[in-house]
Structure 1
Amino acid sequence: MKWVSGDVDKYSQSKEYVDTAIVPLMPISLDTNFKSTVAKGEFIHYVSTELERQLKGRVFLFPELSYLKNDNQVINKMEDWKNEIQKEFKHIIFLTSDESIKEKKSDMIADHVMWLPTVPLEHMDEQLKRKLLQDQVEQILNILLQSWNK
């Protein structure tokens, strides 16, 4: 389910089954690594969208949390999101390809951050892109299954 009004209605009717929130993290930077930063966000967007598609009815995909790459307050924002989202969802996953999040994360959100290495998709054949995204989603599914079984 996604952050759209039609899916919110579906969520309201079946919230006992939808226990996992996914929040993609979207770094913003216009410095010399501009294209690399965009590629990281693009990759996370595709992975989170595919994850939601495959787990529709079990996960809720929130809008991307955009932040300036050098923003030292991003961890505080993630903690605020976690505090709000955990009122409704048992499992919360922040998806990112930003190494700085991996380094900055606090104890409060450490277990909720899933870092994925970026794979540049720009010049990739569509079929190869789908296969790569499927492989990433399968790895995330394995992690989610472990956390759901705890």
Structure 2
Amino acid sequence: MKWRSKDLKQYLQAKEYIDTIMVPLVPFHLSNEQDMEKDSFRNEVLTVFSNEMEKELSGRMMLMPVYNYIKSTDMNVEKDRLNDWVEDIKVQPFKHIFFITFDSKWRKLEQELDGTLIWLPTVQTGDILSKELQSMIREQVKEITEFIRSYW
């Protein structure tokens, strides 16, 4: 399920079965032109990955809107803001909250997050449609799916 009206209507009718939520964490930084393309590519890959995870765990997981933040921001402020999101999320009966990102800065704050961080190794650049990248995404989806299922 995704954060869209059709899926939310279905969620409200069956929310006792949907106990897991995933929040993609995506930094951006328009003032640093040399990183813009790389950051944009990572965002694309994370979007594809998140959508594949949502398909794989359909009926049990909801994919939240992307949590965007400025790359150079104070990560403690972002951690607090993200935990505020979680407080609102917990109003619904979500038992398992996962954050997914390529940004390794979150790893330093992992213990302070009110959820489980899934950090993916960085993908530099490439063709989002290449067989190699699609294969890598499929393999990671399998691994992360098993990881999430271990929480159930």
Please state if 1:83 is matched with 2:87.
Answer: yes
Match of 1:97 in 2: 102
Preserved CA contact (<8 Å) 2:11 2:18: yes
**Number of residues paired by the alignment?**
147
**Partner amino acid, structure 2, of 1:56:** S
Match of 1:34 in 2: 36
Question: For the residues of structure 1 that align with 2:145 and 2:90, how far apart are their CA atoms?
Answer: 20
Question: For the residues of structure 2 that align with 1:132 and 1:79, how far apart are their CA atoms?
Answer: 30
- After the TM superposition, which residues 97-136 of structure 1 pair with which residues of structure 2 at under 5 Å, given as runs? 97-103=102-108, 105=109, 107-109=111-113, 111-120=115-124, 122-123=126-127, 125-136=129-140
Kindly report the root-mean-square deviation, in angstroms, between the aligned alpha carbons of the 2 structures.
Answer: 1.8
Preserved CA contact (<8 Å) 2:20 2:97: yes
Please state if 1:12 is matched with 2:12.
Answer: yes
Question: For the residues of structure 1 that align with 2:140 and 2:72, how far apart are their CA atoms?
Answer: 27
Identical-residue share of aligned pairs (%): 32
1:23 Cα deviation after fit = 0.5
Report the more deviating stretch, 66-75 or 121-130. Answer: 121-130
Q: 1:40-62 CA deviation, whole Å, 9 max, x = no partner?
A: 22221111110001111110001
Please state if 1:25 is matched with 2:25.
Answer: yes
1:108 Cα deviation after fit = 3.3
**Partner amino acid, structure 2, of 1:129:** L
Preserved CA contact (<8 Å) 1:93 1:113: yes
Report the more deviating stretch, 36-45 or 139-148. Answer: 36-45
Preserved CA contact (<8 Å) 1:29 1:69: yes
Question: For the residues of structure 1 that align with 2:114 and 2:87, how far apart are their CA atoms?
Answer: 14
Secondary structure, counterpart of 2:46 in structure 1: helix
Q: 1:10-59 CA deviation, whole Å, 9 max, x = no partner?
A: 10111111000010011011313222222222221111110001111110
| Structure 1 runs not aligned, ≥5 long | none
Secondary structure, counterpart of 1:66 in structure 2: strand
In structure 2, the CA distance between the partners of 1:64 and 1:125, relative to structure 1 (3 Å rule), is: closer
In structure 2, the CA distance between the partners of 1:48 and 1:101, relative to structure 1 (3 Å rule), is: same
Preserved CA contact (<8 Å) 2:21 2:97: yes
Please state if 1:147 is matched with 2:151.
Answer: yes
